Structure 1
Amino acid sequence: MSAKDVRYLTFPGELLMRILQMLVLPLIISSVIAGMSSVDKTAHGKIGLRAFSYYMVTTFIAAFTGIALAVLLQPGKSSRTASVSSSGNAEAVQIVDSFLDLIRNMIPSNLVEACFRKYKTVYSRSVTATSEKNDTVPIDDTVPGPGTSDGVNVLGLLVFSVAFGLILGIMENEAKPLRHFFDCLNKAIMQLVNIVIWYSPVGILFLLAGQIVKVTDIAEMGREVAMYAFTVTAGLLIHSLLTLPLIYFMVTRKNPFRFMLGLLQALTTAFGTASSSLTLPVTLYCMEENHNMDKRVTRFMLPIGATMNMDGVALYEAVAALFIAHINNMEFNLGQIIALSFVVTAASTGAAGIPQAGMAAMLIVLESAGLPTEDISLLMMVDWILDRLRTTTNVLGDCIGVSVVQHLSTHELQRSSPADQSLVEESSQF
């Protein structure tokens, strides 16, 4: 097929990508601010801070696990990929500048500009000199300077939204109107995302068709996608069967696998529904009836965890971003990988607990990393099973978080008054 025919073929998929890109900005702001403002430091004290810390630490570990596996196994990087050599000095300079760009983008000078432009160091031509033998000798391989590139500065918006949401949580009653506004905005955006998800199979079908007709070696692409699915599955198993049980054992000194056995009903429900929100009633039952967990902790942490604690999504997004980079022969340096880990951690925090909602969060990551968003169709070939596996990981992380926080907060729970208990149960209705 000609390039024009491929463009016509992928038009329904192009509409899907445009709709998702349209929702990225309000989705980032509303979901992150609504999620962060629910962490009420003064109302829940150490319990809330421990829950928030657990969510951030486990999500970052999951993202790091995904990045490490993707760098080690390199899914999507075929043997035909040509390697580009560069001098050690130039590479070192680019790593330092990428890390500094990461910090600059975390603190944008203009929030409006951050909606469509981000900071990126540009390099001028090499400075050279002539030696005594009339040879051209480089004095400085690269000369970095200020510059910008098109694209949403996702990292800057995420940092501002996290800080703004935490401040709203600290302000208590004074910030109620704003918290309700962002909560309502988040729910409205999620309704739009639900509508888009109904259309997404059609758009993805045409996007995938466009990718297939452009591929010269379908068998090679199939092997690369299979390697991607294997990498994600291996990462989820490591996080679920090694990282989370190790955290549980280190804190509680109890057998984590016996604890997981009591969650079997919730985990199977999560795998079947691919939705941590739909699994929430079963999760509450397993934690309160099978493990006798304090209702003040379960009804505070589990509803928030279904929105904020997305370990499986963070790991999947990290592997998927590097997979798409590999199939496009793009190499990430250390600074870009560090930036990717922060973006994945923050973007997964705002992912909705509904089937295939990770697609919208994945778009945020691809936009931030400067990767082609149309390649998301390749991920959808195996996403039906990976979505169920990462949802199961999310629910397991929520449950272990409840047990860890309750164990660390035993003294606070024993000293809490009935008024404190009603306050915690009331706030859990978020």
Structure 2
Amino acid sequence: MSGKQNGLETVVHSRTPLMESDNPRNSDRDLIMTTGADKSGRTGDKIVKVLKSNLLIILMIIAVILGLGLGIGLRDIWSPYETRKIFYLRFPGDLLMNMLKMLILPLIVSSLITAMGSLDTNASGRMGLRTVVYYMTTTFAAVILGIILVVTIQPGNKGEKNITKAGAPKEAEPLDALFDLIRNCFPDNLIESTFQKQETTVGKRTVIIKGSSTSNVNQTLATLASNITSNLTAPNATDDGTSIVVETMKVTKASGMNILGIVVFSLFLGGVLSKMGADGAPLVKFFECLHVATMKLVTLVIWYSPVGIVFLIASKLVEMEDLGTMFEQLAYYMVTVLSGLFIHALIVLPVIYAIFTRKNPFTFMAGMIKAILTAWGTASSSATLPLTMRCLEENNGVDPRVTMFVTPIGATINMDGTALYEAVASIFIAQYIGRDLGVGEVIVVSLTATAAAIGAAGVPQAGLVTMTIVLTAVGLPIDEITLILSVDWFLDRFRTAVNVLGDAFGAGIVEHLSRNDISKPLEFDPEVPKEQRNGFHPPETDRQDKLDTRM
């Protein structure tokens, strides 16, 4: 019995290998099943990895679609005049705008001071020159593109001639606006500039000239008019003398952050710290730490942005009175502006980037999708600044010192989309009212649109304020701005996205051109902290100076 059992065991064990491995069919089948399982597993892992890495982009795209759907759906239920409901609907979006704006001040100050303090004076000077030249060139190119399109398409001579006007314009003198721009570069109170900016206001007052005849008063008026630009009324003779109304001009404080003044101060402070070397290193280190901490706060805010974008878009759609009529009346104008923006964003800027860097511009653009969607949803390039910097550093690998230097300046002065929009809008208004602009006036439009765009703050619909400068420069009535106010909120989102994209391409180009001016620590040096390996480090001094500074 035992022998049989042993024999049976021998047979069984001798057949087992044959059944599992020596049979060609079973072997092939097992191989196919294993290979298929491995492939499906790897495919599943890849899909999960792609979804995780692009989750925020997917959420933002869904947020834009939901916002459009929610806004259009609520228009059938709510009236545009139910302001309380719209106010409550916008509340989550207001929270997003507040959080983003809250981070603007610490981000601009810390990034500019750290960038200037970590570069030597010559390197920062060359980088600054490249930055300004790039921004001025692309802004002027956008203006020229807009002028070519509006002159070719002639939107003011097509479509509806009875456009419904909306809103009211704000008067602005070109020379006053220029002086305000320069004045705000040097604020009289740095703390006050965080919430107020300087602005020229014009008033009127009555002056009584006693003991003068009408002829003498007229001579006085002529003398005044030859020396200053004033809107003086005709003299009115009274028993006490002759009364005239003259303008009064004074500088007042207007609400809103003076970003330009803060940028100028931060640049100069960072440059001085760089010159101080080891003595300025502790303060540079402080602002470097502040920048890293602010960027971590940005990460938290970014994950809330899809929620805020939904309600920002929805509330804006609900409060519009007649979407159909608005788009129908200004269809040609909108097509002209959008065509220019898309050509500038998808052709002009990528070609410039490719020429200078010899890299794929569309791969670079793909890394900026989060910032572009946020810019479209918030319509504010300043509010999008934190996300712009994060996308440049993490997705496109731009050196943080370049990002910290270029993007705050870009968010302040680089307004490609706004410049194109102002050029198209001013010539559209001239065409609509039947005014033919000569070559000289078109040149004036191009120059003033470029200058006005630089002075436009990075907040929603700031271009409307600066556009009065362009209209005044060529003698067009500023009241006609109301022709395009009804669609400005819609076009503002697209031009803001173009502004942010222009800032991003500028950072990439400046980094490539400044690669020889930027010295990075060795990645494998164990003594170099992780954040310094990403480009953060104070000006180089000898080892003994560094040790003495830390003590």
TM-score by length of 2: 0.46
For 2:150, the equivalent position in structure 1 comes to 70
Shift of 1:185: 2.7
Contact 1:296 1:421 in 2 (8 A): no
Q: Which amino acid aligns with 1:301?
A: V
Q: Which among 243, 251, 269 is matched to residue 348 of structure 2?
A: 243
Shift of 1:403: 0.3
Look up the SS of the partner of 1:185 in the other structure. Answer: strand
Q: Which among 323, 345, 348 is matched to residue 453 of structure 2?
A: 348
Shift of 1:258: 0.8
Distance 1:180 1:309, change over 3 A: farther
The alignment's C-alpha RMSD in Å is 3.8
Distance 1:79 1:231, change over 3 A: closer
Contact 2:123 2:517 in 1 (8 A): no
Shift of 1:378: 1.7
Listed as ranges, the matches of 1:327-346 within 5 Å are 327-346=432-451
For 1:22, the equivalent position in structure 2 comes to none
For 1:324, the equivalent position in structure 2 comes to 429
For 2:137, the equivalent position in structure 1 comes to 57
For 2:490, the equivalent position in structure 1 comes to 385
Distance 1:263 1:233, change over 3 A: same
For 1:257, the equivalent position in structure 2 comes to 362
Looking at structure 2, the residues matched to 295 and 192 of structure 1 have their Cα atoms a distance apart, in angstroms, of: 25
Shift of 1:228: 0.5
Listed as ranges, the matches of 1:90-129 within 5 Å are none
Contact 1:70 1:323 in 2 (8 A): yes
Contact 1:152 1:368 in 2 (8 A): no
Shift of 1:373: 1.5
For 2:415, the equivalent position in structure 1 comes to 310
For 2:256, the equivalent position in structure 1 comes to 191
Look up the SS of the partner of 1:324 in the other structure. Answer: helix
Contact 1:76 1:224 in 2 (8 A): no
Shift of 1:376: 1.4
Q: Which amino acid aligns with 1:58?
A: T
Looking at structure 2, the residues matched to 421 and 342 of structure 1 have their Cα atoms a distance apart, in angstroms, of: 42
Contact 2:368 2:391 in 1 (8 A): yes
User: Can you list the C-alpha shifts for 1:40-59, whole angstroms capped at 9, x where unaligned?
Assistant: 98782100011011110000
Contact 2:423 2:449 in 1 (8 A): yes
Looking at structure 2, the residues matched to 241 and 332 of structure 1 have their Cα atoms a distance apart, in angstroms, of: 30
Q: Which amino acid aligns with 1:358?
A: G
Listed as ranges, the matches of 1:131-146 within 5 Å are none
Looking at structure 2, the residues matched to 327 and 317 of structure 1 have their Cα atoms a distance apart, in angstroms, of: 15
Look up the SS of the partner of 1:413 in the other structure. Answer: coil
For 1:114, the equivalent position in structure 2 comes to none
Shift of 1:165: 7.9
Look up the SS of the partner of 2:330 in the other structure. Answer: helix
Look up the SS of the partner of 2:387 in the other structure. Answer: helix
Matched, 1:412 2:424: no
Look up the SS of the partner of 1:330 in the other structure. Answer: coil
Q: Which among 473, 478, 497 is matched to residue 368 of structure 1?
A: 473
Look up the SS of the partner of 1:291 in the other structure. Answer: coil
Larger radius of gyration: 2
In structure 2, stretches of 5+ residues that fail to align are 1-112, 162-170, 200-252, 259-318, 521-534, 542-551
Shift of 1:263: 0.7
Q: Which amino acid aligns with 2:150?
A: A
Q: Which amino acid aligns with 2:254?
A: I
How many residue pairs were aligned?
287
Distance 1:414 1:165, change over 3 A: farther
Distance 1:328 1:406, change over 3 A: same
Shift of 1:76: 1.0
Contact 2:375 2:493 in 1 (8 A): yes
Contact 1:78 1:224 in 2 (8 A): no
Q: Which amino acid aligns with 1:189?
A: A
Looking at structure 2, the residues matched to 249 and 339 of structure 1 have their Cα atoms a distance apart, in angstroms, of: 31
Look up the SS of the partner of 1:254 in the other structure. Answer: coil
Looking at structure 2, the residues matched to 178 and 246 of structure 1 have their Cα atoms a distance apart, in angstroms, of: 43
Matched, 1:299 2:404: yes
Q: Which amino acid aligns with 2:339?
A: A
Looking at structure 2, the residues matched to 315 and 53 of structure 1 have their Cα atoms a distance apart, in angstroms, of: 18
User: Can you list the C-alpha shifts for 1:150-207, whole angstroms capped at 9, x where unaligned?
Assistant: x9762x5677778x689x8xxxxxx7969999886359535299xxxxxxxxxxx9xx
Shift of 1:279: 0.9
Contact 2:159 2:329 in 1 (8 A): no
Shift of 1:283: 0.8
Looking at structure 2, the residues matched to 388 and 186 of structure 1 have their Cα atoms a distance apart, in angstroms, of: 27
Contact 2:143 2:449 in 1 (8 A): yes
Look up the SS of the partner of 1:414 in the other structure. Answer: coil
Contact 1:280 1:302 in 2 (8 A): yes
Q: Which amino acid aligns with 1:65?
A: L
Shift of 1:292: 1.6
Shift of 1:247: 0.4
For 2:265, the equivalent position in structure 1 comes to none
Q: Which amino acid aligns with 1:356?
A: Q
Distance 1:252 1:276, change over 3 A: same
Contact 2:156 2:432 in 1 (8 A): yes
Looking at structure 2, the residues matched to 359 and 285 of structure 1 have their Cα atoms a distance apart, in angstroms, of: 29
Looking at structure 1, the residues matched to 382 and 129 of structure 2 have their Cα atoms a distance apart, in angstroms, of: 22
Looking at structure 2, the residues matched to 324 and 64 of structure 1 have their Cα atoms a distance apart, in angstroms, of: 17
Q: Which amino acid aligns with 2:514?
A: S
Distance 1:374 1:230, change over 3 A: same
TM-score by length of 1: 0.59
User: Can you list the C-alpha shifts for 1:370-391, whole angstroms capped at 9, x where unaligned?
Assistant: 2122221221221122010000
**Identical counterparts, % of pairs:** 44
For 1:12, the equivalent position in structure 2 comes to none
Look up the SS of the partner of 1:411 in the other structure. Answer: coil
Looking at structure 1, the residues matched to 388 and 333 of structure 2 have their Cα atoms a distance apart, in angstroms, of: 30
Shift of 1:414: 2.0
Listed as ranges, the matches of 1:251-290 within 5 Å are 251-290=356-395
Contact 2:139 2:415 in 1 (8 A): yes
Distance 1:66 1:298, change over 3 A: same
Q: Which amino acid aligns with 1:364?
A: I
Q: Which among 88, 113, 126 is matched to residue 46 of structure 1?
A: 126
Looking at structure 2, the residues matched to 417 and 387 of structure 1 have their Cα atoms a distance apart, in angstroms, of: 35
Distance 1:80 1:395, change over 3 A: closer
